[in-house]
A and B are shown apart, each in its own frame.
Chain A
């Protein structure tokens, strides 16, 4: 094969970057399910079927109170959806679920049936980072799935670079930190040092159930149940791992690059 053939093949393939966000978002796999929705009005009294099947204690129903589902702890196994007799917990097929405040991931109460999606950074930070956001990634006991699906955003299909977002090789070059994993005790020091090495102003993104709350390993003594206890987090992106589309949505939302709000 000559160089010309190679070039010709590439030309024939054309541009492979998806149209989103200008065009429509690609569909999630039909069995993915997307974000969950909780309608406590549908719950029958005394039922706690969902609470018992949840592997990460993401669902609670204190006596006399409505069911509360913490999407930050959720690993999206959908066991609760299957077991709920009244369809109070359902899948929305919506890929959007990143939030700015931890409490916005707790669903249940009235007006909190679904996640309150992330607001953009304030004007000043948006002016700073809106056109160029350099991130340093710290994996702190992530299982390499969150890492892999962040990496995928760099491929030609997603092309994160077109939004000015880039992962850099030194914290000194970075505007923010993207953390995966529950933060093992063994990574605590490295994480703190990396954070300290970022010039201010800086932002922190917690990606995946592990980084938000401990994930499948929630409650184990070998880690910190997520990053929040160690560094201030500005964006939470739920999932195990979050679909690349969910991650991209979160990043763009933070930078105020998506029009619709909820």
Chain B
């Protein structure tokens, strides 16, 4: 664990007293954050906490190599602050968000515009970065897309077929998730947490449960932690399989596309076997997991899992074997490791650029403290690499589940949740199938949630897609987009 830092250290899934969080005058706070980012640490959450008419900034950092998280805060201030984005691109959206939510201006931010709010022309739409030149033309796509897809707007600057620049404007899905939790937890909060990104129900619900459990000074029973890990890997299997199929479909390789479409459903049905819902609604609750599975049910799960894994193995074999697929995947939508690190990329997209970062490995919490999943990495940063990392993860999640279902821990799955500690802060990270899901909870003097900050992996990764498109043919956009497969509602909140 690193000790040479002025920040307050904590581990994933832990809480501490708000008063114990290191505090500095604004300028010093920014200098300290900057210094940690200079050393290569990661900014995983950066947000404002109102104090009367003033605002405090809170930064949560991940020291991946030290398996520690670090948190610090500024003294309350008004007006503006010097943007970190000037030196560290990974702060750019966080700072736009702080500006949008609280009205303080990040000075010298190179591209200060809304993140989610509508300023007349549509959410986050407004001035787009324009490339000038006689041959340059602009292509606008969305918000409604050609298919069954969430809405978002893409603005391409092209010279002929080649994309010079892509700007992504989101916010169409904004439901006011964070505002709704304030003063909570409310009766409806856990249901809302399950739908922050509906395809990532388990990861978000687990992160939420972990923050509340940390604030309440308790832990879910071991068997519940085990169930959550099983469900999380099932969620990963379903989505990764769906993505492999969708990628195959985008290069017109139908055998894998058809097979994976079906197998994805088989994995979803395994989650439904546990809780009745294909997306895992109702499976995770603060305090544990209300629905247990007896030996017979878990046996059925194990059996059906084996079948689905064998089928996906077959479907993937067709894919990797096809030269027509490889030529379309290789060198398409490339992103370098340096660039990926600079923008704070997470999840399979980051691992496909050779970055070894995975919450399950770097910041294990819950069941992952007892059972490990190897980190899957591929160096090339292209569509091939992103597909390949998914395939490696399918195999490793499969192995993990086999092992887990062969050695089921005993015991209860629910425990009562004591009252939340007042004036405390908790951080929970979960490696969802798209990457790092980060929830930060802060309670007030009354023990109610005063501020709740959610960072879906998509918040970091949309920028990665925009950069991957540079120099690509615009016709490759669907393929590149699919290779990231990011969440709109998880970003828009």
Residues of B within 8 A of A87 (CB): none
Contacts known (A6-B318, A31-B275, A155-B262); A141 close to B173, Cβ less than 8 A: yes
Contact A189 B122, beta carbon cutoff 8 Å = yes
B175 adjacent to A31 (CB under 8 Å): no
Task: Give B325 Cβ to nearest chain A Cβ, in Å.
Answer: 12
Please provide the chain B residues from 172 to 228 with a CB less than 8 Å away from any CB of chain A in the complex: 172-177, 179-180, 187-188, 191-192, 194-199, 201
B172 with A141: CB separation less than 8 A: yes
Judge whether A201 is part of the interface by a CB distance below 8 angstroms.
Answer: no
Q: Which residue of B lies closest to A181 (CB)?
A: B173
In the complex, the answer to whether A145 meets B199 with C-beta atoms within 8 Å is: yes
- Interface-forming stretch among A40-48, A126-134, A212-220? A212-220
Contact among A9, A30, A141 with B314 in the assembled complex (CB-CB below 8 Å): A9
How many whole Å from B93's CB to the nearest CB in chain A?
Answer: 17
Cα–Cα distance between A53 and B187 once the two chains are bound (Å): 8
Which B residues are CB-close (under 8 A) to A145?
195, 198-199, 201, 278-279
B281 touches A217 (CB 8 A): no
CB <8 Å contact, A169 and B147:
yes
Contact call A32/B318, Cβ cutoff below 8 A: no
Chain A residues near B279: list those with CB within 8 A. 145, 148, 241
Query: B450 to nearest A CB, angstroms?
Result: 19
Q: Which residues of A have CB within 8 Å of B151?
A: 138-140, 187, 190
A240 B281 Cβ-Cβ under 8 A: yes
Q: What sequence of 0s and 1s flags, for each residue 437-459 of chain B, a beta carbon within 8 Å of any chain A beta carbon?
A: 00000000000000000000000
Q: Give the residues in chain B near A31, CB-CB below 8 Å.
A: 272-276, 291
Contact with A along B285-327 (1 / 0, CB 8 A): 0000001000000000000000000000010011001000000
In the bound complex, CA of A25 to CA of B321 (Å): 37
Cβ of A116 under 8 Å from chain B: no
> Quick check: B123 and A186 within 8 Å, CB to CB?
yes
Which of B122, B123, B276 has the most chain A CB atoms inside 10 A of its CB? B276
Q: Does A228 contact B (CB under 8 A)?
A: no
In the complex, whether A256 has a CB less than 8 A from a CB of chain B is no
How many Å lie between the Cα of A185 and that of B176 in the bound state? Answer: 11
Complex Cα gap A93–B225 (Å): 29
- Interface 1/0 per residue, B252-289 and A, CB below 8 Å: 00010010011011000100111111110110000000
A204–B488 CA distance with the chains assembled, in angstroms: 23
- C-alpha gap A261/B265 in the complex (Å): 29
Contact, CB under 8 Å: A142 / B150: yes
Q: A66: CB under 8 A from chain B?
A: no
Is A167 on the interface with B (CB-CB < 8 A)?
yes
The answer to whether A143 touches B198, judged by C-beta atoms less than 8 angstroms apart, is: yes
Please classify how large the interface on chain A is, using the bins under 10, 10 to 19, 20 to 34, 35 or more: 35 or more
- When distances are taken between beta carbons in the complex, the residues of chain A under 8 Å from B314 are 9
Is A141 touching B489 in the complex (CB atoms < 8 A)? yes
Residues of B within 8 A of A185 (CB): 118, 174
Instruction: Tell me how far the C-beta of A92 lies from the nearest C-beta in chain B, rounded to whole angstroms.
Output: 14
Cα distance, A155 to B180, chains bound together (Å): 36
| B-side contacts of A1, CB under 8 Å | 317-318, 321
Nearest Cβ on chain A to B429's Cβ, whole angstroms: 21
Chain A nearest Cβ from B466, distance in angstroms:
20
Query: Could you say which residues of chain B place their CB within 8 Å of the CB of A10?
Result: 255
Which of A10, A144, A157, A215 has its CB near the most chain B CB atoms (within 10 A)?
A144
A18 to B317, CA, bound (A): 25
A114 adjacent to chain B (CB < 8 Å): no
Complex-state Cα separation, A243 to B279, whole angstroms: 10
Closest B-chain residue to A147, C-beta based?
B148
Q: 1/0 contact trace for A5-49 toward B, CB 8 Å?
A: 010011000001000000000000111110000000000000000
A222→B174 contact, CB < 8 A: yes
* B180 A187 Cβ-Cβ under 8 A: no
Q: Which of A56, A144, A184, A220 contacts B198 (CB 8 A)?
A: A144
State whether the Cβ of B413 lies closer than 8 Å to any Cβ in chain A. no
CB distance from B224 to the nearest CB of A (A): 17
What's the Cα separation between A181 and B199 when bound, in Å?
A: 14
B407 CB-CB contact with A under 8 Å = no
- Please determine whether A144 and B489 come into contact, CB atoms closer than 8 angstroms: yes
| Chain A minimum-CB-distance residue to B318 | A6
Contact of B122 with A186 in the complex, beta carbons under 8 Å: yes
Within 8 A of A (CB), among B437-493: 487-489, 492
> A142: which B residues are within 8 A, CB to CB?
150, 173, 198, 489
CB-based contact A144/B191 at 8 Å: no
Give the most central of B172, B201, B269, B318: most A CB within 10 Å: B172
Query: Which residues of A are at the interface with B, using a C-beta cutoff of 8 A?
Result: 1, 6, 9-10, 16, 29-33, 53, 55-56, 75-78, 136-152, 154-157, 167, 169-170, 181-182, 184-187, 189-190, 194, 215-218, 220-223, 240-241, 243-244
Assuming A32-B276, A77-B281, what are 16 further A-B pairs, CB within 8 angstroms?
Answer: A29-B273, A76-B277, A137-B149, A138-B144, A143-B197, A145-B278, A147-B150, A155-B261, A155-B264, A157-B265, A184-B175, A189-B122, A220-B175, A220-B176, A223-B176, A243-B278
* Closest 9 pairs (CB-CB, A-B): A143-B198, A31-B276, A145-B198, A169-B146, A155-B261, A222-B176, A29-B272, A143-B195, A186-B123
Write 15 A-B pairs (CB below 8 A) sorted by A numbering.
A31-B272, A32-B276, A53-B187, A76-B281, A137-B149, A141-B174, A143-B199, A147-B148, A148-B198, A155-B264, A181-B173, A194-B144, A220-B175, A220-B179, A241-B278
Residues of chain B at the chain A interface (Cβ within 8 Å): 116, 118, 122-123, 143-144, 146-151, 171-177, 179-180, 187-188, 191-192, 194-199, 201, 255, 258, 261-262, 264-265, 269, 272-279, 281-282, 291, 314, 317-318, 321, 487-489, 492
